[in-house]
Amino acid sequence: MSKWLLQPAAKPTVFALCLLPFIWLFYAALADQLGANPQEALIRASGDWALRFLCIVLAVTPLRVLSKTPSLARFRRMLGLFMYFYVLFHFLSYSWFDMGFDLAEIVIDIIKRPFILVGALSLLLLTPLAATSFNAAIKRLGAKRWQLLHKLIYAVAGLAILHFFWMRAGKNDFAEVAVYAGILATLVGWRLRQFVRSRAKS
């Protein structure tokens, strides 16, 4: 596996795999395979994939360390940008199908509904992370400031779960929320444990 991850074809393959959910949703929308309410299905599905990619991004470092596969780090930036892509896709789907791209109505809805507010805040916090996911930005910010900025991903994880929780609260359906919350808590908890250990050693 480690050797394959270093192959030139590895990144294009991962890129194609990351794009598959979007391709499927685009096809399903065109082929009328999203059920009785395709607009809502598209909004929900894009949100689900945004959350899944958040879990994948946060899993890269633990997997790299525990499996002793440093080459996994090559894909973290790409996965992070795909996470942002699906978050943006989710927000644009909501803005289009629910709000008709009416900016004034979108702002009112964000202020009025807490779960929309925390979702929009997640997108806002992710935007500077996506904008600085390039070598030139890292050099300009400096490694320490760049790393500090990208710790916002932990705040995004908390807001994402809160967004999902409030969204499901209306239907009193928290099974999936609990699964994602457990995964993210485990991943963030692992990083916190590593941080405490490193501080104890120093």
Q: Domains in the chain: how many in total?
A: 1
Tens of pLDDT along the chain (202 residues) come to: 678 888 989 999 999 999 999 999 999 999 999 998 999 999 999 999 999 999 999 999 999 999 999 999 999 999 999 999 999 999 999 999 999 999 999 999 999 999 999 999 999 999 999 999 998 998 999 989 999 999 999 999 999 999 999 999 877 889 999 999 999 999 999 999 988 888 787 6
- Report the distance separating Cα 142 and Cα 153, nearest Å: 18
Range of 125's domain?
2-201
Half-sphere exposure of 64 (CA within 13 A, CB side): 15
- Report the distance separating Cα 46 and Cα 84, nearest Å: 11
- Report the distance separating Cα 129 and Cα 201, nearest Å: 30
Torsion on CA atoms 113, 118, 119, 125, rounded to nearest 10 = 150
- Report the distance separating Cα 60 and Cα 79, nearest Å: 9
* CB-CB contact of 139 with 94 (8 Å): no
Owner of token pair 């996994």: 72
Which residue, among 125, 33, 39, has the nearest Cα to 88 in the 3D structure? 125
* CB-CB contact of 18 with 78 (8 Å): yes
Residues 68-79, buried b or exposed e (16+ Cβ, 10 A)?
Answer: eeeebeebbeeb
Owner of token pair 């908890």: 189
Give me Rg for the CA atoms of the chain.
Answer: 18
At 67, is the secondary structure helix, strand, or coil? coil
